[in-house]
Amino acid sequence: MAAVAAPERSPRLGNSSLAAGSTGPLRWVDFYELDTRRTTLLYWGGVALVVAAFFSTKLLPCVDYPQHLALSDVARRLASPASPEHAEYELNLFTYNGLFHLIVAALSTFVPVELAGRTVIAASLVSLASAVVALVRILRRPLVHAALFTPILFSFSLGWGFVNYVLATSIAAWALVAIARGVLRPSFAAPVAVGLLGLACAYAHVLAMMILCVVGAGLALELGWRKTARARSRVPRALRAVLWASFAALPLILGCAYCIAVYQRQYDWDRNMYRDPTLEGSAPPVWQKVVFFSAFATDLFGDATDQVLVWITLAVMGWSARRWWLDSRSGPGEEDESPPIVAPFVVATVAYFATPMVLVGTHLIFPRLGQWAMFGAVLATPRFPPGVEARAQRYILRLGLIAGANALAHCLLFNWETRDASALIDDMPAGRSATAVVWDPGTRAFRNGTLTHLAGYYAARKHGKWAFAFARYLSVPVRFKPNSQPPWPARGWEFDAEQYSPRCQYARAFPLVLLRAPDELVGSEADEATLRTLVFKRDAARVHVLSHRGRFWAFDTSDIPGDGTL
C-alpha cells in the first residue's frame, strides 16, 4: 500500500519553531483558523453540532442548571427597586460563584431568560474551543489536534449543570493563552490580560481559579525553561526560567487575593459551610479513577457512547505518543520543530488523582479535572509520523464531528422525552410557589437526574418561587434574607420523591406540585387515582389537577391543611 504523503506545513499557520511562534501579533483568524479551509470547517462543524444541541431542546440536560437559571431570573427582578423579591432575597455581588448569574440576568432584560441562559452556555463552549485553537497555534502544535478536545467539550461539569464552573473554564483557557504569550513574546499587554482574566475567572468560580493557577504555573515554567535553552547568560537557567514564568503568570495573584477575601468573609458568616464531616476528603481508589476515567470525565449519555468516544480519543493520543517514543529510541530522525508541551498534562493528571471527590464541603470535585487532563493531553500529543499524518488528521476531524453529532442526537432524544414537562410548565399560572416530586429523574438520553430540579424551570419561566432553592447557599449572588425562607423539611424529597410529606410546613409553602409519575403508573387506566393516593395519601381528594401531559402532572394542593411538622 502506498504511503500517504504528509500535508504541506505552512509557516503562516505556525508550524515552525516554538520561539518563532511568538514573533508576530495575534490576529482574529488565529483564534479559529486551522491549517486549511477544509480542516477549519470540519473542526468548527463538530463544535457547532455540540453548541446546536443546546438549542435543540426546550429543557437542558444539565442537572443543576434550572437552579442557576431561576436565580438569574430573580437577580434580574432585584435590579428594580420596586420588585417584591426584595422582601425575600438579597443580591451579594462579593462572591466567587456568580458571573454566570449576573451575565444571564443582564441579557434577560432583552431576551427571555431561558434563551439568555443557553446563549451564555453556548458562548462558553465556543470560547473554550477557540482558546484551544489559539493555544495550539501559539505553542506551535499541529493545529488539527484541537479537534481531539471536541469529544470532551460537553463535559461532566456541564452535564451536572455547574454552569459557573463551565464559564470559568473557558476564561481560564484564555488566561493560559495570555500566559503562553507572555512567556514567548513579553509585552505590557500580556500580564495585564492575565490579571484581568484571572479576576474574571475568580469571580466566576473559585475551583477554576485554583486549577488555572496550578496549570498556568506548570505551562509558564515549561515555556520559560525552553525559552532559555539557547540563551547564554551568567544567571542560572532555572532562575531565568522562573523569572520568565513569574512575569507571565504572577498577575494571577490578583484573582487569588480576591478568592481569599471572599472565603474569609463567607467563613465568618457560617463556619460550617465548608465542612462535610461524613464525606470530607473521600475519594474512590486510584484504580477506579483510571478504569472509570471516561465515566468521571463525561458520564452523560444513557448508552455511554460519549465514554466510548473519550476512550477512542485517548487511544489515538496514546498511539501517537507510543510511535514518537519508539522513533526517538530507534535513533535520530526528523526533529519535531516544536516538541509536545507536557507540563499542563502532568499537572492536571496529578491533580485528578490527588483530589478527593468531596473537598471543602463541596461534592463532585475531582471528576471536573478530567476535562483538564484531556486539555493537557491535547498539548502533549506528539505529531503523527509523516507517513500517516494526513490520514490521522482526517480521523481526528471525523472524531470531532461524530462527537458533535452524538451530542446533538442525544439532546434531540432528550427533547422528545421532556417535551411534556416543558408543555406542563407552559400550562401553569405565573408567580406561584412550586415544588417538584419526580420519580426517576433520569431519561433514556442522559444518565443523570436531569429533571431533579424541574421546579427551577417553572420559577425561571413563570417568575415564581421554587422549593429547595440554591438561594440557601452563601456562595451564590442571590440569597435568601435571614429568616425569609420556609422552615427546612426534616426529610427532603428533592432527590427522593417518596419522602414527600403533603402536610409538612415546607410542602405547604409550595402548594403547586409538578409531578413525574413512576414508570409503573404510566398508561394505566387508574393512573390518576393511584397516583393521587401514592403522593397525597389521605389528602388525595383535596388536590386539583391543573394539567396532565403524558407522564407529567401538575396539582394544586392549596386545600391540604398543614399539621405543623417539618
341-370 pLDDT, tens digit each: 999 999 999 999 999 999 887 889 999 999
Whether 52 and 188 share a structural domain:
yes
pLDDT at 333: 52
Residue 475: which pLDDT band, with cuts at 50, 70 and 90? confident
Whether 537 and 470 share a structural domain:
yes
Whether 251 and 397 share a structural domain:
yes
Q: Which of 409, 439, 474 is the last residue of a domain?
A: 409
Residue 386: which pLDDT band, with cuts at 50, 70 and 90? confident
User: Does 152 fall in a domain?
Assistant: yes
pLDDT at 323: 87
Instruction: Return mean pLDDT, the chain.
Output: 91
Whether 258 and 128 share a structural domain:
yes
pLDDT at 526: 57
SS3 450: coil
Nearest to 380 by CA among 149, 546, 166, 225: 149
Find the domain containing 226 and state its range.
24-409
**For strand 89-91 and strand 433-438, is the pairing parallel, antiparallel, or unpaired?**
unpaired
- Which residue bears the cell 432524544? 413
State the total domains in the chain: 2
Asked whether residue 18 carries a pLDDT value surpassing 70, the answer given is: no
d(CA 303, CA 444): 8
DSSP bridge pairs for 512: 434, 556
Whether 165 and 118 share a structural domain:
yes
Across residues 304-315, what is the average pLDDT?
A: 96
Asked whether residue 286 carries a pLDDT value surpassing 70, the answer given is: yes
Radius of gyration from C-alpha coordinates of the chain: 26
Asked whether residue 12 carries a pLDDT value surpassing 60, the answer given is: no
d(CA 309, CA 149): 11
pLDDT at 328: 75
Asked whether residue 16 carries a pLDDT value surpassing 90, the answer given is: no
Instruction: Average the pLDDT over each of 73-82, 86-95, 243-252, 326-335 and give the range with the smallest value.
Output: 326-335
User: Does 338 fall in a domain?
Assistant: yes
Whether 387 and 429 share a structural domain:
no
User: Does 36 fall in a domain?
Assistant: yes
pLDDT at 4: 38
Residue 286: phi and psi, rounded to 5, are -60, -40
- How would you class 196 by CB atoms within 10 Å of its CB: exposed for 0-12, middle for 13-18, buried for 19 or more? middle
Cell digits for 423?
A: 408543555
Share of the chain above pLDDT 90, in %: 77
Question: In this predicted model, what pLDDT tens digit does every residue of 140-172 receive, in sequence order?
Answer: 999 999 999 999 999 999 999 999 999 999 999
Whether 433 and 351 share a structural domain:
no
User: Does 4 fall in a domain?
Assistant: no
User: Does 396 fall in a domain?
Assistant: yes
Asked whether residue 11 carries a pLDDT value surpassing 70, the answer given is: no
User: Does 2 fall in a domain?
Assistant: no
Q: Which of 366, 385, 409 is the last residue of a domain?
A: 409
487-492 long-range contacts, Cβ below 8 Å, gap at least 24?
Answer: 487/566, 488/566, 489/566, 490/565, 490/566, 492/468
Asked whether residue 332 carries a pLDDT value surpassing 70, the answer given is: no
Q: Whole-angstrom distance between the N-terminal and C-terminal Cα of the chain?
A: 75
pLDDT at 334: 55
Query: In this structure, which amino acid lies at residue 100?
Result: F
Q: Which of 382, 409, 436 is the last residue of a domain?
A: 409
Question: In this predicted model, what pLDDT tens digit does every residue of 177-231 receive, in sequence order?
Answer: 999 999 999 889 999 999 999 999 999 999 999 999 999 999 999 999 998 877 7
User: Does 345 fall in a domain?
Assistant: yes
Across residues 462-487, what is the average pLDDT?
A: 93
Whether 259 and 396 share a structural domain:
yes
Nearest to 65 by CA among 163, 145, 194: 163
Instruction: Average the pLDDT over each of 102-111, 385-394, 551-560 and give the range with the smallest value.
Output: 385-394
Residue 276: which pLDDT band, with cuts at 50, 70 and 90? confident
What stretches of 243-374 adopt beta strand conformation (E)?
none
Residue 442: phi and psi, rounded to 5, are -85, 175
Whether 256 and 301 share a structural domain:
yes
d(CA 517, CA 468): 20
Residue 275: which pLDDT band, with cuts at 50, 70 and 90? confident
Whether 129 and 151 share a structural domain:
yes
Whether 126 and 198 share a structural domain:
yes
pLDDT at 13: 38
Across residues 57-83, what is the average pLDDT?
A: 97
pLDDT at 24: 62
| pTM, two decimal places | 0.93
Whether 420 and 384 share a structural domain:
no
Across residues 417-430, what is the average pLDDT?
A: 97
pLDDT at 363: 87
Residue 524: which pLDDT band, with cuts at 50, 70 and 90? low
DSSP 8-state assignment for residue 21: G
Across residues 81-95, what is the average pLDDT?
A: 94
pLDDT at 7: 41
d(CA 260, CA 317): 38
**What is the longest distance spanned by two Cα atoms in the chain?**
88
User: Does 217 fall in a domain?
Assistant: yes
d(CA 248, CA 227): 13
pLDDT at 5: 39
